[in-house]
Amino acid sequence: MALPLVNSPETDSSALPAYPLPRECPYRPSSGFAQLRAPGPLTKVRLYDGRTAWLVTGPVEARALLADKRMSSLAHYPNYPVLDERHKHMRATREMATEEEGGFAGALFGVDPPEHTRQRQMLIPSFTTRRVAVHRPEIQRIVDERLDAMLQQGSSADLMTAFATPVPMMVVCAFLGVPYEDRESFEGPARDLFNPERADQAMEELTDYLTRLIQAKESDPGNGLLDDLIAGHVRKGDLSRDELIQFAFAILVAGTVTSTSTIALGTLALLATPGQYAALADDPDLVPGAVEEILRYVTLVEQLARVATEDIEIAGEVIKAGDGILVSFAGANIDPSVTSHPDVLDITRPPTNHLAFSYGIHHCMGHNLARLELDIAFRTLVKRVPTLRLAVPAEEVPSYDDGTVPRLLSLPVTW
C-alpha cells in the first residue's frame, strides 16, 4: 500500500494522553506508564505538535512489530514521530527527526534493509560474545585505574567525572582504536552534540577529528575496529571513508553516552534504594542479575520511533500505512511477563527478557560489550568501595533530560 505523501488529517487529539512523560526522578521512567498500559498493549498518544502516534507497551506486541518488515526507521515519512521541538534544532537529532540524510541517520540507527543489513553485516563479527571477551583485561585495567585515581582523592568525589564518564569513553576508544590521549578533540564535541547552541559546531568538530584519524590509520594502521574495517572493507571498496566516519561517529557517541548514564543512574538508584548497594557489596556474584535489573529499571532509551509502511493488524487494532509508532521499552519493561516488581529496584530478582537493548534487526549491536563493561564496572565498584554512599540527598543530585537520554550533571559520593 502506498504511503501518504502528506500528513493525514488528524481527528481532535486533545483527549489523548500527552507523550512523552517527563521523569519524576532521573533513574526511572514516569509512573504514568502504568496508566498508559491500562487500555491494552496499544494505545494512541498526543505528541507536542498535536499529531498522534501509536504507543506500543506490550512486550509481545513490541517484539512482533520490531521484527516486522512493514516497520520503517526512515525519518522522512510525514508521520515519523518527533518527541521534542528541540530535536529539530540539533543536527544529531534533527537528522533523525526530519527528512535530512547523512550523519546519524545514515548509519545503523535510521536506515532500513537492505542498507541496514549490509552495514550490520560488516560490524557484527566484531561484537560477538567471543570477540568482546578479548577486551575483558583491558576494561578491567581501565576500571581499576579510574578507581585508583578516585580513591587517591580522599574520601569523596564526583562519581560522574571520576568514574562514570571516563570509563565508557576509554573503553570505546580502545575498542575502536581511537587514541584516548586525543580526548580533548572529541570529548567536548561528543558532550555538546545534544546542546542546541553547540550541536552543529560539535558535529563538525567531531567529524573533522574522525576524518583526520581515519586518514592517519590508512597510512599507519593500528589496533581496533576502525583498523579492521579499513583493512577488511575500505581497501576492498565495499565501504567508503565517509561511511566509516559515520560508523565511528555512531559507535563513539552511542557507546559512551548510554554506558555513562547507565553507570551513573544505576549507581544512584542502588544508593537511593535502601539495601540495594549493600546487598551487592555483600555478594558481588549478584552483579550479572543486578545489571539486567538496572537496565530494566532505568530503561535509558524509553522508546523507538517507527512508521508503518503497510497496514498492520495487531492486538485487535489496525495500524494504518503511514501511521507513526512509538515502541515503548519503558512500558514493556514493567509488564508482568518481564518483572514481578515493576515499580521497585530489586537486584535479587532480575527481569525476564527485558527490552532495554531493543529487539529484532535493530537489537543493540553493542549489547555484549555494554554488558561486559557494566559487569566489570559495578563488580569492581562494590568490591573496592563497599561503603559508597550519596554525599547529598538523592533528590538534590542534578540531572538533565532533553528527551534523548537522561543524564546526571554530577553525582557527589563519599565513602
> Does residue 194 contact residue 91 with C-beta atoms inside 8 Å?
no
The tens digit of pLDDT for each residue in 128-146 reads 999 999 999 999 999 999 9
- 204 neighbors 193 (Cβ within 8 angstroms): no
Parallel, antiparallel, or unpaired for β 71-72 and 407-408?
A: unpaired
CA distance 99 to 86: 16
Report residue 146 as a C-alpha cell: 579510574
Q: Does an H or E element contain 269, and which?
A: helix 241-272
pLDDT tens digits for range 87-116: 665 544 444 444 444 444 567 778 899 999
Confidence check: pLDDT of 266 > 80: yes
Residue 3 lies in a domain: no
Q: What is the pLDDT of residue 30?
A: 96
Helix (H, G, I), strand (E, B) or coil at 18: strand
pLDDT digits (tens, 9 = 90+) for 200-255: 888 888 889 999 999 999 999 999 999 999 999 999 999 999 899 989 888 888 88
* Rounded Cα gap, residues 326 and 86, in angstroms: 18
Look at residue 257 and tell me if it is in a domain.
yes
What's the pLDDT band for 9 if we cut at 50, 70, 90? very low
Distance between CA atoms of residues 224 and 175, nearest Å: 5
Q: Indicate yes or no: pTM above 0.85.
A: yes
Report whether 157 contacts 415 (CB < 8 A).
no
Alpha helices, DSSP H, located in 67-198: 91-97, 115-123, 129-133, 136-152, 159, 166-176, 183-192
What strands, in cross-sheet order, belong to the sheet with 412-414? Answer: 156-158, 412-414, 389-390
Q: Identify whether 304 is part of a domain.
A: yes
Total tally of structural domains belonging to the chain: 1
Residue (of 159, 138, 132, 130) closest to 370 by Cα position: 132
Q: Give the HSE-up count for residue 328: Cα atoms under 13 Å, Cβ half-sphere.
A: 29
In this structure, is residue 22 part of a structural domain? no
> What is the domain extent for residue 140?
33-401
Is 106 inside any structural domain? yes
Query: For residues 71 and 100, what is the distance between their CA atoms, to the nearest angstrom?
Result: 19
Indicate whether 246 belongs to any domain.
yes
Residue 189 pLDDT exceeds 90: no
Residue 102 has what pLDDT? Answer: 42
Q: Quote the cell numbers at residue 131.
A: 570477540
The CATH number that applies at residue 244 is 1.10.630.10
Tell me the pLDDT tens digit for each residue of 372-398.
999 999 999 999 999 999 999 999 999
Tell which residue, 377, 382, 415, has the closest CA to residue 165. Answer: 377
Q: Is residue 279 part of a domain?
A: yes
The tally of CA atoms less than 13 A away on the side-chain side of residue 4 is: 15
**Would 244 be classed as within a structural domain?**
yes
